[in-house]
């Protein structure tokens, strides 16, 4: 029973950490954009990197139970993708799914899976 609870806690904390880290990085990116001439394609690329990095950091900070990394990582990716999609859609008042949005969501899923696999397979140096 404790293992199930720890898995839930790992996923919840990783999702929260990912979203917080993402918000901080996006705020930094917004400041950089104000003072530079980064084009739209550059912003899109940086946004994807921020999402992937945020998921990795959230997973690496939160996962304590070193089991089921792929499944827990996928769930973190799903939660992260849903929250970011909802926030973006609410801000833009547009809930349509474009090809780019679907690719973005899939990249979150894949990032979560890869981060979870890496996290549970990294051996701690003693």
Exposure string of 7-32, with b = 16+ CB inside 10 Å and e = fewer, is beebbebbbbbbbebbeebbeebeee
Note the pLDDT of residue 5. Answer: 82
Mean residue pLDDT of the chain comes to: 91
* pLDDT, tens digit (0-9, with 9 covering 90-100), for 50-102: 999 999 999 999 999 888 999 999 999 999 999 999 999 999 899 999 898 99
Note the pLDDT of residue 4. Answer: 60
Note the pLDDT of residue 112. Answer: 97
Angle 38-39-43 from CA coordinates, rounded to 5°: 75
125 pLDDT higher than 70: no
Helix/strand/coil (H/E/C) assignment for every residue in the chain? CHHHHHHHHHHHHHHHHHHHHHHHHHHHHHHHHHCCCCCHHHHHHHHHHHHHHHHHHHHHHHCCCCCCHHHHHHHHHHHHHHHHHHHHHHHHCCCCCCHHHHHHHHHHHHHHHHHHHHHHHCCCCC
Instruction: Report which of 91, 77, 71 is spatially closest to residue 14, judged by C-alpha positions.
Output: 77
């Amino acid at each position: 029973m404790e293992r199930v609870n720890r898995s839930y806690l790992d996923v919840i904390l990783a999702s929260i950490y990912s979203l917080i880290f993402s918000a901080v990085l996006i705020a930094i990116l917004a400041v950089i954009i104000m003072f530079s001439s980064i084009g739209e394609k550059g912003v899109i690329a940086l946004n994807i990197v921020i999402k992937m990095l945020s998921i990795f950091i959230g997973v690496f900070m939160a996962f304590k139970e070193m089991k089921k990394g792929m499944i827990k990582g996928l769930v973190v990716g799903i939660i992260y993708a849903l929250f970011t999609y909802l926030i973006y859609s609410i801000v833009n008042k547009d809930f349509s799914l474009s090809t780019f949005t679907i690719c973005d969501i899939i990249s979150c899923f894949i990032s979560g899976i890869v981060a979870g696999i890496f996290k549970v397979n990294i051996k701690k140096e003693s």
